């Protein structure tokens, strides 16, 4: 690994390296019947979605950010026979296949694939119709699940790389996802972390591991400074996980304070970054519809678990922990309640800062983008009519690996 490759001590420092996934065939496995289970509200048009995603990546590359892709990193590590065999077994044994004979033949089938094909199946899943009709005995599960289309489930949410892992300081949190639909995504990150030369021999701390019990997702983790992070307590991230990761950060890293931000537990605001993101040193954007409902708590190091103290309100929590004379909470939606709610649903507050005061947003959120500009923020708009259908914006679609220190 390049010395200091993981380095995230802010939300807004110039972005130097990012991990993405370009949407692929997994999106074409979405059918109306399984939308909810797979955490989608609509069916995207893949061709257009990929164009939009290419443009998202280009905007970052044009500003000298190195873009890495899950699919390429996985392909590279799977050239190693041992890694590949263990990867295949992990996929099959953790796939709820419930049939030892089928597991055995699936493993044989996958071992015969080359790395590229294997990665495609690992991400897009394996539809029953794409599996050779081998001569095998039918088990109870085959009769019971006869209508279920997949042997290996597709991962249509993988392009929301933010949620899978979070670099905090010089360490990594490989998150425990809240829903089974996204479990395998975190296993991929663990493989990359363990075996890819980019990350290999990383002596840096693993703040959290996907095999732990309590869920925490990256959309809830905001690295505000070298000493302070905010973690959303949400539908997806549990208080127990927040305490566990906080205590580890206090004991082994430079983090001194964690602000736990409680937001309403509902799908529209599934993560903190769907309602609140940092856009500059002292500027944040927030969805006004939740401002009065948000509660903030300060966590500091304790003996075995962190000490917890309720804080006055979010603004005050940011001001005191970041030691700023004032902070601006810029309301999304341009001051209109209905526009704000409509644009929040389309990720108006899910901004990705690529430098202090420079953010990427979807072009469709016209009122929110105009408000950000009014507050002196440079807004780089990208098209996202198809990308947005998975319910995530530019921040959700990116996992920063390295930013310039502030
Ligand atoms: N940070 C984010 O808010 N990520 C968006 C994730 C959307 C995805 N369909 C999910 O429900 O997990």
What are the tens digits of pLDDT across the range 263-298?
A: 999 988 999 999 999 999 999 999 998 989 999 999
CA dihedral 37, 365, 24, 146 (to 10 degrees): 20
| CATH code at position 194 | 3.75.10.10
Contact 214, 240 (CB under 8 A): yes
More confident residue, 129 or 243: 243
pLDDT recorded at residue 148: 86
Burial (0-12, 13-18, 19+ Cβ within 10 Å), 405? exposed
Cα(397)–Cα(372) distance, rounded to whole angstroms?
20
pLDDT at 201: 59
pLDDT of amino acid 238 = 97
Q: Which helix (H) or strand (E) holds 189?
A: helix 183-195
Dist CA 215 CA 235 (whole Å): 10
Torsion from C-alpha of 128, 130, 135, 141, nearest 10 degrees: -10
DSSP 131: S
pLDDT tens by residue, 289-329: 898 999 999 999 999 999 999 999 999 999 999 999 999 99
Does residue 185's CB lie within 6 angstroms of at least one atom of ligand 1?
no
- Our CA dihedral for 266, 270, 274, 278, rounded to 10 degrees, sits at 110
Taking the centre of ligand 1 as the mean of its atom positions, its distance from the CA of residue 163, in whole angstroms, is 7
> Which residue in the list 73, 221, 279, 396 is annotated as catalytic?
396
| Rounded-to-integer distance, Cα 385 and Cα 362, Å | 8
Domain assignment present for 104: no
Q: Per the domain annotation, does 36 fall within a domain? A: yes
The answer to whether 293 and 268 have CB atoms below 8 angstroms apart is no
User: CA neighbours within 13 Å on the CB side: how many for 58?
Assistant: 9
Q: For residue 179, which atom of ligand 1 is closest to its CA?
A: 12
- Strands (E) in 153-227, as ranges, are 165-168, 171-174, 206-208, 221-223
Structure confidence at residue 154 (pLDDT): 97
User: Which candidate, 163, 379, 368, 365, places its Cα nearest to that of 272?
Assistant: 163
Residue 42 sits in which domain range? Answer: 15-71+156-403
Q: What is the Å distance from ligand 1's center to 40 Cα?
A: 9
- Pairwise CA distance, residues 347 & 364, whole Å: 10
Domain count, the chain: 1
Of the candidates 45, 2, 5, 40, the residue with the CA atom closest to the CA atom of residue 23: 45
In a domain? residue 265: yes
pLDDT for residue 1? 40
Dist CA 11 CA 313 (whole Å): 21
Provide the CA 33 distance to its chain's centre, in angstroms. Answer: 25
Strands 283-286 and 328-331: parallel
Q: Is the pLDDT of residue 3 over 60?
A: no
Taking 70 as the threshold, does the pLDDT of residue 49 lie above it?
Answer: yes
Q: Look at residue 173 and give its three-state secondary structure.
A: strand
pLDDT confidence band for 137 (50 / 70 / 90): confident
pLDDT exceeds cutoff 90 at 384: yes
Structural domain includes residue 43: yes
Does the CB atom of residue 219 touch ligand 1 within 6 A? Answer: yes
Is 125 a domain residue?
no
Q: Calculate mean pLDDT across residues 80-87.
A: 97
User: Could you tell me what percent of the chain has a pLDDT over 90?
Assistant: 86
Which helix (H) or strand (E) element contains residue 337?
A: helix 337-345
Rounded to the nearest angstrom, the distance between the alpha carbon of 2 and the centre of ligand 1 is 30
To the query of whether residue 65 is one of the catalytic residues in this protein, the response is no
Distance CA 24, CA 11 (A): 28
Determine, yes or no, domain membership for 138.
no
Mean pLDDT (whole number) for 26-48? 96
- Residue 310: beta bridge partners? 297
34 in any annotated domain: yes
Name the residue with higher pLDDT: 354 or 252: 354
SS3 assignment, position 172: strand
Domain for residue 110, yes or no? no
| CB of 344 closer than 8 Å to CB of 274 | yes
Q: Which of 92-101, 223-232, 237-246, 264-273 has the lowest mean pLDDT?
A: 92-101
Of ligand 1's atoms, which has the minimum distance to the CA of residue 392?
Answer: 5
3-state secondary structure (DSSP) of residue 359: strand
The reply to whether ligand 1 has any atom less than 6 angstroms from the CB of 26 is no
For the chain, what is the mean pLDDT?
94
| Adjacent-strand bridge partners of 261 | 232, 296
CA–centroid distance for 366 within its chain = 25
């Amino acid at each position: 690994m390049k010395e200091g490759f993981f380095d995230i001590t802010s939300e807004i420092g110039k972005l130097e390296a990012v991990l993405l996934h370009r949407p692929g065939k997994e999106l074409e496995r979405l059918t109306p019947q399984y939308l909810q289970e797979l955490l989608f509200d609509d069916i995207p048009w893949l061709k257009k979605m990929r164009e939009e995603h290419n443009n998202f990546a280009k905007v970052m590359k044009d500003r000298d950010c190195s873009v890495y892709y899950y699919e390429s990193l996985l392909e590279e590590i799977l050239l190693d026979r041992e890694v590949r065999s263990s990867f295949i077994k992990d996929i099959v044994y953790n796939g709820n296949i419930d049939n030892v004979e089928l597991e055995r033949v699936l493993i044989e089938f996958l071992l015969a694939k080359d790395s590229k094909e294997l990665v495609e199946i690992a991400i897009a899943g394996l539809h029953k119709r794409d599996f050779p009709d081998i001569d095998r005995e039918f088990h109870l599960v085959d009769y019971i699940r006869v209508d279920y289309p997949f042997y290996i489930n597709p991962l249509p949410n993988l392009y929301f790389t933010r949620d899978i892992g979070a670099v905090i300081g010089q360490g990594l949190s490989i998150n425990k996802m809240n829903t089974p639909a996204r479990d395998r995504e975190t296993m991929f990150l663990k493989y990359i972390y363990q075996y890819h030369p980019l990350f290999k021999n990383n002596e840096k701390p693993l703040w959290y591991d996907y095999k732990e019990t309590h869920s925490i997702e990256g959309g809830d983790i905001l690295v505000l400074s070298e000493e302070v992070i905010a973690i959303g307590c949400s539908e997806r991230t549990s208080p127990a996980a927040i305490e566990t990761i906080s205590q580890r950060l206090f004991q082994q890293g430079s983090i001194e304070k964690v602000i736990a931000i409680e937001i309403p537990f509902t799908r529209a605001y599934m993560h903190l970054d769907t309602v609140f993101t940092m856009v500059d040193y002292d500027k944040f954007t927030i969805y006004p519809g939740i401002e009065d409902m948000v509660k903030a708590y300060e966590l500091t190091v304790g003996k075995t678990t962190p000490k917890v103290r309720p804080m006055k309100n979010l603004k005050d929590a940011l001001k005191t922990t970041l030691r700023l004379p004032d902070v601006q909470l810029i309301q999304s939606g341009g001051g209109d309640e209905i526009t704000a709610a409509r644009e929040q649903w389309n990720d108006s507050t899910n901004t990705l800062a690529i430098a202090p005061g420079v953010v990427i947003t979807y072009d469709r959120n016209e009122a929110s983008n105009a408000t950000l500009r009014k507050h002196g923020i440079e807004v780089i708009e990208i098209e996202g009519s198809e990308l947005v259908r998975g319910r995530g914006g530019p921040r959700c679609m990116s996992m920063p690996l390295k930013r310039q220190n502030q």
